[in-house]
Amino acid sequence: MKEKFYITTAIDYVNAEPHIGHAFEKILTDTIARWHRLQGKEVFFLTGVDENAQKNVQAAEAAGLPTKKFINQNTQSFINLCKILNIGYDKFIRTTAKEHTEVVEEVIQKIIDNGDIYKGEYEGEYCVGCESFKTERDLIDGKCPEHNRIPEHRKESAYFFKLGKYQKKLIKFAENYITPKEKKNEITSRLKEPLNDLCISRAGAEWGIDFPGDKNFKVYVWVDALINYLSGAKERWPADVHVIGKGINWFHSVIWPALLMSAKIELPKKLLVHGYINLAGQKMSKSLGNVINPIILTEKYGADTVRYALLRCSVLEDSDFSEQILIERHNNELANKLGNLVSRTSALAEKYGTERTTNTLIKKLKLKEIEKYFEEFKTDKALNEIFAFIDICNEFIQSKKPWETHDKKILYQLVYSIKEIARLLFPFIPESAEKISQVFKSDKIKKAPILFEKIDIPKQNLNKSEEPKEIMEGVTTINFDDFEKIDLRVAEIQKVEEIPKADKLYKLILNDGEDGRTICAGIKEFYSSKELKGKKIIIVANLKPRKLRGIESKGMLLAASNKDHTKVSLISPDQDIEVGSIVG
């Protein structure tokens, strides 16, 4: 029987389209999965989306779409991302699926039966972006470091999981579970402090999985989401490797194994915590609005170029990435090094042929180091070793000058070294590796077509078939038809009211040319009520109403803020423009 290997990515929120960080994790995981398939293992690769998150619901409301329709649309974007990037997953899980719901209910019932869940009341700071409560130590300058926002204060009845009960077991388990060492040390350090019990329910939510035995509550989304690794795999459990970003290390290193311990389910074997893909040193995030759209990027440059450029980024540490970095890696490494080697060798082999001999060249390939790097999940270093050998091959052909000597033995060594290069590159750039293999698959070699056309930056268009789209975007790109749906109007603030126990929200009564409109706006720390009264502003008039602090807010005002949200300025029209005027 084949050795089995089960690997997972984290499942992604579908509150917006995928960004380059999602692409990196999927490409990284796909590369590891393909490597293990090359070793003859029976691999099962699970990826998917988290459709039960509350912020998916909020995003649907903001888009003016039914939640299910909105989720279906964005889920398709993640499926398209996998397809365009040649991600060879075995299953794509959606957490709204019945099979997942059933497994969630079964696992929670096991934990209840074990006496590890009780009902109580929770009060604390809640980050909507993370969908979790935060302790003071989790925050930097009072803000969630993942989303650069101040959490909301919440108080609610809830069901709790006795997380603290498993503290000693978790410390022991973490030692051989988490990689790299730095991420393990972060967790074990935190586990030496008192471990609070975990709130595992949401009160009053309409979307999500009903809490077993009490339909007034939904299962906390992180408990629901983590169980996907079981529901998606079933008999293939336990996972050999979970691949995740560092921002969700705690959930996978502490909460997930503790739930499994309580439910008496076998534990996963390894957790790979990778670094972030940054833009100019800042984490890319849909919430922060500085994302690169990987689908547009791939449509422009091709899957293997995007895969290669991202896989050259560090796995275990943060890395900067940009379109310019991608172009440099494509031109300097794929085109100049790999493409040139394949082109020159195939042309010479076609002209002069090859003659079998001892391949001394291949002995310079550090195969054991490459295998070791894969064992340690350092795929970037494995790729570096492969390209170090490509450099050696280019130096070899340059020094031996087979175009002058017509030495068939030299060409034999080059051809069979390139075959091994293609095999090793298959996990990284599968389409190109297959093309190389096809060129050298028989003794009758023909000159290879150009594998990697040089990217001429000044002549590139963002999108050849459509009007230009931005690869670098805010939250996501939209069509002009979608933009036309937004109803922007001029309004005047007639009255400013305090909201009890709200540190940041004002209740604003507006004159927008019709009946008085009420909106809640989080601008209290930037404007006094005196400054706001009588001020003309721009509002989004056709947002679906939503309740904030028990007040129905009918719209949203427009404001500008700096990157760290320490300065906010309301967008104001000229004072002589009439209220109710349409902006557009």
Strand partners, 508: 496, 519
Q: What angle in degrees, to the nearest 10, is found between the helix axes of 294-301 and 20-38?
A: 60
The tokens describing 64, both together, are: 């003016």
Active-site annotation holds for 274: no
Cis bond before residue 180 (omega within 30° of 0): yes
Active-site annotation holds for 130: yes
Catalytic residue among 36, 55, 147, 252: 147
- Angstrom CA distances, 528 to 221, 511, 522, stand at 37, 19, 12
Active-site annotation holds for 286: yes
Catalytic residue among 26, 286, 300, 330: 286
Q: In what order do the strands lie in the sheet with 152-161?
A: 132-134, 117-127, 152-161, 198-199
> Residues 49, 14: contact at Cβ < 8 Å?
yes
392 Cβ contact list (under 8 Å, min separation 6): 361, 364, 365
The count of other CB atoms within 10 Å of the CB of residue 207 is 19
Which residue shows structure tokens 């909020």? 58
- Closest by Cα among 291, 298, 380, 312 to 85: 298
Active-site annotation holds for 82: no
- Closest by Cα among 224, 59, 197, 226 to 124: 197
Active-site annotation holds for 168: no
- φ and ψ at residue 583, rounded to 5 degrees: -100, 125
Catalytic residue among 36, 183, 283, 408: 283
CA pair distance 516, 306, nearest whole angstrom: 51
Catalytic residue among 26, 36, 130, 330: 130
> Residues 91, 229: contact at Cβ < 8 Å?
no
H runs (alpha helix) in 39-180: 54-63, 67-84, 98-113, 167-177
Catalytic residue among 26, 36, 82, 127: 127
- Pairing relation of β-strands 42-50 and 12-13? parallel
Strand partners, 93: 48
DSSP characters for 460-512? --S-SSSS---SEESS----HHHHHT--EEEEEEEEEEE-TT-SS-EEEEEE-
Angle at 14 between CA 11 and CA 15, to 5 degrees: 135
Active-site annotation holds for 283: yes
CA pair distance 191, 195, nearest whole angstrom: 7
- φ and ψ at residue 275, rounded to 5 degrees: -80, 180
- Pairing relation of β-strands 559-561 and 568-570? antiparallel
Catalytic residue among 19, 55, 330, 408: 19
Active-site annotation holds for 252: no
Active-site annotation holds for 330: no
Instruction: Give the H/E segment covering residue 273.
Output: strand 271-274
Catalytic residue among 82, 144, 313, 520: 144
> Residues 156, 121: contact at Cβ < 8 Å?
yes
Sign of CA dihedral 200, 203, 205, 207: positive
Catalytic residues: 19, 22, 127, 130, 144, 147, 283, 286
